[in-house]
Amino acid sequence: MSVDAYSSCTCGSGKKFKWCCQPYAAQFERAAEMQRNGQTEAALEMLKELTQTHVQTAEVWGRYAEQLWYCGRHEDAQEALKHALQLNEQLPLGYFLRGMFAHEGGDYRAALRDYRKAIELCHPDAKQLLIEVYLSTAQCELLLNHFMAARAAFEIVLRIEPGQAAAGKLMAELFGVESQLPEVIRKSYALKPLPHVPDADLQKRREQSLETCRTGKLSDALLAYEEMAHDTPEDPAVLYNLALIHSWLGDQLGAMTALERYVACEPEETQAVAAAEWAVALTFCDECMDRCDFVHHYIRYEVLDAEVFKDRLTSTHRLIEPRQKDAVLYAKWMDREIPPAHENMALFELPRVAAHVIIDRYGMNIDGGDEELLNKAKDQIEAHFGPCIQANVDKGQVIPNFVSVVLDRFNIRLPEGLPPEVSKRLIDTHLSQEFEDRWLNQPSRFLHGRTPKDAMAMTRLRPMALGAFQFLRNLCTGKLPIDFDFERIRQLLLEVPLDPALIAPILPELTFRSFQPMAPIAEQTPEELAKLKWERLSREDLLLAMQTAVRQQALAVAARFAKPLLAKSTGDPFAMYQILIQAALAEKQADQAQQWLDEGIKVDAERHGGARKLDYEMLRARLFISGQQPMKAYESFVKLLHAHPGNMDLLGNASETLLKAGLRPQALQFAEHGLAQARAKGDRDRLSYFQELMAVAKRG
């Protein structure tokens, strides 16, 4: 490919090609051609030689890293890329490649951080690299359900190159008239015009902030609107635009926070309700799961006997609507078999879809939006398949697609041969129960635990409840088998009078991530971390702050972030409880440590079926040590060993803990047992580890 010597270099540096990558561009092109022709090793050797003649050139090391990755030498590729970024920490190509490595490895959030960094550093004239980065960004955003961010990335690509085929095709498929996405999330949005501010100084600062937007970079626009929101936290237009920019950047949690504050400030109800509908759509991602009302619960099964499983799979009539794609079977499990049709059929006779079933070569997954129905399906499935399947510890919650929301509302199945008028009566009755009886009176995560009816009585939550209804109505309209009267539901909502005595939840705090006076969280000292206002941090930043404090052995500081993380966490909270227990012990607060332990065990049992029971019991033994009861710790470890005789982590933990308590003979017992286990399993690393523990125990 011929490149104009005086055009901007393709590496994104902003330098002219002649004074940047021209000396080795021919070798880059030749290596790329070899790669396309399957001569990967020859291409690798060529680039390796190039690194030896251009030892201090970051771009060369970057291309070498890229080729190493294509050859499957991923660790070597990471090392070469690390060296490239050490040579030039402002190398756009380097961050793009690091993002690409994370992307292909399935770490989409890490990939996006590097793609955004590459965009920040890339010169506007390096169009080809920018197109690659934005297309990769869009792919990651789609995988995380950040649809507005993906659309923004595609639109930027099309502005850079109007005829870009890949972006144009995906835009049409994902956001065109045939899209399965709801209108509120796939339509094009624009920033609102800002009103003039009477305060002259404030208006001047606002104009200065807006000036930073002229670079065309979303990060600069975010900085500008965060500064304006800091100055005028109740300006509806500023809050709306801040939410929009957060959405374009894939920060749906930040967008939701800004939208909720916007809804509270917007005097025009129609606009407030539309923004609330948009906010509901944003909850369909992992980071907003604790505000999403449509999560699916899932259970994973391991197939222990494939032949028996296959026989029992074909012998059931409860598995309906099967379809196979790429060696994966998709079907639905009914809570009962379809009965014969008769004219007086009642709704309770109809079966419901209790679970969606996915069967692959690794096992079976069941999921559903109704936890009670899913548990019913679980019992039926385990009874039907018997010992040929085994429930895996892998269970929890996932975000469904938008179509599943409609399917979850319409989960009944009618027998063939019903008269049309009977079918219509049954469907209408079912949907009335779903929306009038259930949805109106069901506590909503989006509405902070209030039911839609209760939320309508609160001034601030009223437009949020109407927005939630509008989202559901627009999603279901045209997809249900009958023309359901949603206006009746809306009228029931509007009939609820406002109650001035009811207090709505506190508005979430805006977090201003773009202009932090201190260093990035991962680089802060314990003293700096202690000054952070955890109330204003996102869940992701809270976790990073906690991990940074732990890395610096600042347990008391880590505990400051562990507490609010417990309230925001939807996954395994063991790490937070462990830090809180250790911090309490360090402060000699044994009673507090015991309270955290008891709470952790209870939460683990209720949410995760006791998956972490062993880890918590090992912490209990440490509590005995801190309470000057070393023999109780020993007895506790002995009981655990009887329950988990081959667990080498337990054996090592017990031996180390007892050594610190001065119980050398008892520590020696566990070390010897661990040594025997390591020998039996041929684990050389553990063998050496237990030998060292034995040596320490015998010194006494």
CATH of the domain at 121: 1.25.40.10
pLDDT confidence of residue 4: 61
Q: Where is mean pLDDT largest: 276-285, 383-392, 628-637, 638-647?
A: 276-285
Do 153 and 302 lie in one domain? The reply is no
DSSP character at residue 318 = S
Pair 678, 648: CB distance under 8 Å: yes
As a whole number of Å, the CA-based R_g of the chain is 30
Structural domain includes residue 549: yes
> Which whole number is the average pLDDT over 621-648?
80
Based on the structure, what is the number of domains in the chain?
A: 3
Task: Categorize the per-residue pLDDT at 8 as very low, low, confident or very high, splitting at 50, 70 and 90.
Answer: low
Do 534 and 675 lie in one domain? The reply is yes
Structural domain includes residue 136: yes
Least confident piece of the model among 165-179, 227-241, 455-469, 564-578:
564-578
Structural domain includes residue 532: yes
Q: Where is mean pLDDT largest: 38-52, 113-127, 424-438?
A: 424-438
Alpha carbons 389 and 492: distance in angstroms, whole number: 47
- Does the structure show a pLDDT above 60 at 519? yes
Least confident piece of the model among 12-26, 135-149, 386-400:
12-26
Least confident piece of the model among 413-422, 441-450, 513-522:
513-522
Structural domain includes residue 443: no
Structural domain includes residue 623: yes
- Does the structure show a pLDDT above 70 at 231? yes
- Does the structure show a pLDDT above 80 at 83? yes
Pair 658, 645: CB distance under 8 Å: no
Alpha carbons 325 and 301: distance in angstroms, whole number: 20
pLDDT tens for 588-605 read: 888 888 888 889 888 888
Do 162 and 23 lie in one domain? The reply is yes
> Which whole number is the average pLDDT over 552-579?
86
Pick the residue with more confidence: 570 or 49?
Answer: 49
Angle at which helices 40-53 and 22-36 cross, to 10°: 160
Pair 284, 398: CB distance under 8 Å: no
Alpha carbons 624 and 595: distance in angstroms, whole number: 14
The tokens describing 54, both together, are 């251009």
Structural domain includes residue 152: yes
- Does the structure show a pLDDT above 50 at 16? yes
Q: Left (φ > 0), alpha (ψ -120 to 50) or beta: where does 14 sit?
A: left
Cβ-proximal residues to 693 (8 Å cutoff; 6+ apart), any chain: 652, 655, 656, 659, 667, 670, 671, 674
Do 530 and 679 lie in one domain? The reply is yes
pLDDT confidence of residue 481: 87
- Does the structure show a pLDDT above 60 at 569? yes
Do 165 and 302 lie in one domain? The reply is no
- Does the structure show a pLDDT above 80 at 628? no
Mean of per-residue pLDDT scores for the chain? 87
Pair 95, 115: CB distance under 8 Å: yes
- Does the structure show a pLDDT above 90 at 283? yes
Q: With residue 58 as reference, give the H or E element that holds it.
A: helix 58-70
Structural domain includes residue 599: yes
pLDDT confidence of residue 339: 92
> Which whole number is the average pLDDT over 200-227?
79
DSSP character at residue 352 = B
Q: Where is mean pLDDT largest: 30-34, 213-217, 336-340, 525-529?
A: 336-340
Q: Where is mean pLDDT largest: 70-74, 201-205, 452-456?
A: 452-456
Give the domain-ending residue among 179, 199, 225: 179
Least confident piece of the model among 17-21, 106-110, 254-258, 668-672:
17-21
- Does the structure show a pLDDT above 90 at 444? yes
pLDDT confidence of residue 538: 75
Q: What is the CATH number of the domain that holds 392?
A: 3.30.70
Residue type, 373: L
pLDDT confidence of residue 60: 84
Task: Categorize the per-residue pLDDT at 571 as very low, low, confident or very high, splitting at 50, 70 and 90.
Answer: confident
Do 24 and 149 lie in one domain? The reply is yes
The full DSSP string for 253-302 is HHHHHHHHHHHHH-S-HHHHHHHHHHHHHHTSSGGGGGG-S--EEEEEEE
Least confident piece of the model among 145-159, 539-553, 656-670:
656-670
- Does the structure show a pLDDT above 90 at 672? no
3-class DSSP string for 441-483: HCCCCCCCCCCHHHHHCCCCCHHHHHHHHHHHHHHHCCCCCCC
Structural domain includes residue 240: no
Pick the residue with more confidence: 515 or 494?
Answer: 494
- Does the structure show a pLDDT above 70 at 17? no
Alpha carbons 697 and 666: distance in angstroms, whole number: 9
Alpha carbons 493 and 4: distance in angstroms, whole number: 65
Task: Categorize the per-residue pLDDT at 418 as very low, low, confident or very high, splitting at 50, 70 and 90.
Answer: very high
Cβ-proximal residues to 75 (8 Å cutoff; 6+ apart), any chain: none
Task: Categorize the per-residue pLDDT at 192 as very low, low, confident or very high, splitting at 50, 70 and 90.
Answer: very high
pLDDT tens for 320-335 read: 999 999 889 999 999 9
Give the domain-ending residue among 371, 398, 425: 398
Pair 263, 276: CB distance under 8 Å: yes
Do 172 and 304 lie in one domain? The reply is no
- Does the structure show a pLDDT above 50 at 517? no
Give the rounded percent of residues in the chain with a pLDDT score beyond 90.
48
The tokens describing 661, both together, are 């308590």
Give the domain-ending residue among 356, 372, 398: 398
What domain range includes position 668?
521-698
Pair 381, 305: CB distance under 8 Å: no
Cβ-proximal residues to 288 (8 Å cutoff; 6+ apart), any chain: 252, 253, 256, 282
> Which whole number is the average pLDDT over 647-672?
82
Q: Measure Cα distances from 192 to 53, 207, 225, 240 in Å.
A: 54, 15, 12, 7
pLDDT confidence of residue 14: 66
pLDDT confidence of residue 405: 92
